[in-house]
Chains A and B, each alone.
Chain A
């Protein structure tokens, strides 16, 4: 077990007129090597939740354990926790500040006190993961890049710390389809090749349904669903719509067919799944007609 949250509550502006309870009774376990999607509409507490993973926020009540250690106890070295759990915030390109891409990506390893040659190795490795050519990019200013490239540099500067777990808050927001696909394939790569645990927040139902293995759905500060995307989209389509989340178009299509009394499987998430399911149905029905 990597992370465990136990009865976590969090309230902003506690005791002030604007006091708001943002997290309510969160109980969550994340195992090493999992690939998790976190969805929920704006303001439901997603970002607040992930900030509890590495102690950026402390619960108002409840406990957070990382590898069995209660991270909010006194004398816990949060620096070590944060090396293991890398958070990539929304619009991480806004956090770039160095003069060159090399310096930007080297910042983390430098702070870890690594010797020069190791730093260089880490920078090369991180830039390779995000598909930016080391020699072409190392001397360039991060501010001369396109939005998509800047975001990849920001991701690289987290990867160079070699976290065990990567938590990304809407990493594809505002990118065009190509930029989005690049980032997502890089995230899939670190999960697959390095066994990194990944938690991904996204509003893109179609993409998230396709790539994650476990989906958490939040609403008003609570985790209201936890399961495989197939299971959640199959059984809870109605509830998802009610709380303002969309369905992937093909899932919505199956769901509507079912509403009209057609016996189709509604846990389809991709065009491939939908094509197969529809062709199977057509075959079955045609057989019946022949008889």
Chain B
């Protein structure tokens, strides 16, 4: 039986609730996220992606509705720290997340705060560095690392806390192609090898294509839920949401229309090359 990690029930969030200029960021969202899953959340700027993410570890509380993380309601103050330890967050800008002067101190920061003994702390730091493949930078100064490496340090800091679930809010937005690849690879590894639940926010469709399940938001509402293959052929809706369709999927759809026997469900270059090999 799969266990339900996060249950969201009729969640709405209104910014400036007690003021005149109210903004409804989330509008009656209900969702269930299973433990160990890899979910991506897509949607244009202002669709509520980050607001939703911030509800998952009590950075924001619902204006109405409820969220349970492993059965704990986020509204109850006693649960806040327990939930934050289980659900780790990685944000967009790597520079804003670094607090210490060496990589190992940075990763140990959270552990120190919860009073972990030095012996265990060392073990956990080493383990986390190994998972994100940054062992050789243990003693480095964070500001000398590349963007992708900094984000990997941020991820290591979270998993060192033994968080079993990771929310990443556009973690590659500020990275170059190599850095993007690094982060995607590490995230997939965390999911597959360490069985960490991934909730990945992005507006890059080729990144969303790596997940098991895609949730599309628009104006605070869930507009699509499904496997990447099911979502990406709904080109009309995606265009309406002002999202990109991956070049390769668009090409597949066009060739399919021209009568070539090529599935319009293609998401990756490799699949396209395999199908085209029969033709050209």
Give me the interface of A with B, judged by CB distance under 8 Å.
Answer: 41-43, 146-148, 173-179, 203, 205-206, 244-246, 248-250, 252-253, 256-257, 260, 262, 264, 270-271, 274-275, 278-279, 281-282, 285
- Is there contact, CB below 8 Å, between B92 and A248? no
Residue of A nearest to B268 (CB): A249
A209 to chain B, nearest CB (A): 10
Residue of A nearest to B253 (CB): A271
Bound form: Cα–Cα A226–B263 in Å: 37
Give me the interface of B with A, judged by CB distance under 8 Å.
Answer: 44-46, 92, 146-148, 170, 173-179, 181, 203, 206, 242-244, 246-248, 250-251, 254-255, 258, 260, 269-270, 272-273, 276-277, 279-280
**Which among B179, B181, B270, B273 has the greatest number of chain A C-beta atoms within 10 A?**
B273
Name 11 A/B residue pairs within 8 A (Cβ), A-sorted. Answer: A41-B178, A175-B45, A177-B242, A177-B244, A256-B269, A257-B273, A257-B276, A257-B280, A271-B250, A278-B251, A282-B279
- Is there contact, CB below 8 Å, between A260 and B176? no
List the A side residues contacting B170 at CB < 8 Å: 174
- Is there contact, CB below 8 Å, between B45 and A249? no
List the B side residues contacting A249 at CB < 8 Å: 206, 246-248, 269
**Which among B247, B269, B280 has the greatest number of chain A C-beta atoms within 10 A?**
B280
Instruction: Tally the A-B contacts, defined by beta carbons under 8 Å.
Output: 105
List the B side residues contacting A270 at CB < 8 Å: 247
Specify which of A148, A177, A256, A271 is in contact with B270 (CB 8 Å cutoff): A256
Q: A203-B176, A206-B247 are in contact. Are A176 and B279 (CB under 8 A)?
A: no
Specify which of A43, A257, A271, A282 is in contact with B254 (CB 8 Å cutoff): A271
List the B side residues contacting A205 at CB < 8 Å: 177
- Is there contact, CB below 8 Å, between A176 and B44? yes
- Is there contact, CB below 8 Å, between A250 and B174? no
**Nearest 5 CB-CB pairings of A with B:** A244-B178, A178-B242, A246-B177, A249-B247, A281-B280
Q: A203-B177, A274-B251 are in contact. Are A281 and B279 (CB under 8 A)?
A: yes
List the B side residues contacting A264 at CB < 8 Å: 280
Residue of B nearest to A281 (CB): B280
Residue of A nearest to B276 (CB): A257
Residue of A nearest to B46 (CB): A146
A50 to chain B, nearest CB (A): 16
**Which among A176, A257, A278 has the greatest number of chain B C-beta atoms within 10 A?**
A176
Bound form: Cα–Cα A157–B243 in Å: 28
List the A side residues contacting B260 at CB < 8 Å: 278, 282
List the B side residues contacting A148 at CB < 8 Å: 45
Bound form: Cα–Cα A173–B93 in Å: 12
Other A-B contacts than A147-B45, A173-B174, A249-B248, 9 sampled, CB-CB below 8 A, are A42-B175, A148-B45, A173-B173, A256-B273, A257-B277, A262-B280, A275-B251, A281-B280, A282-B280
List the A side residues contacting B179 at CB < 8 Å: 41-42
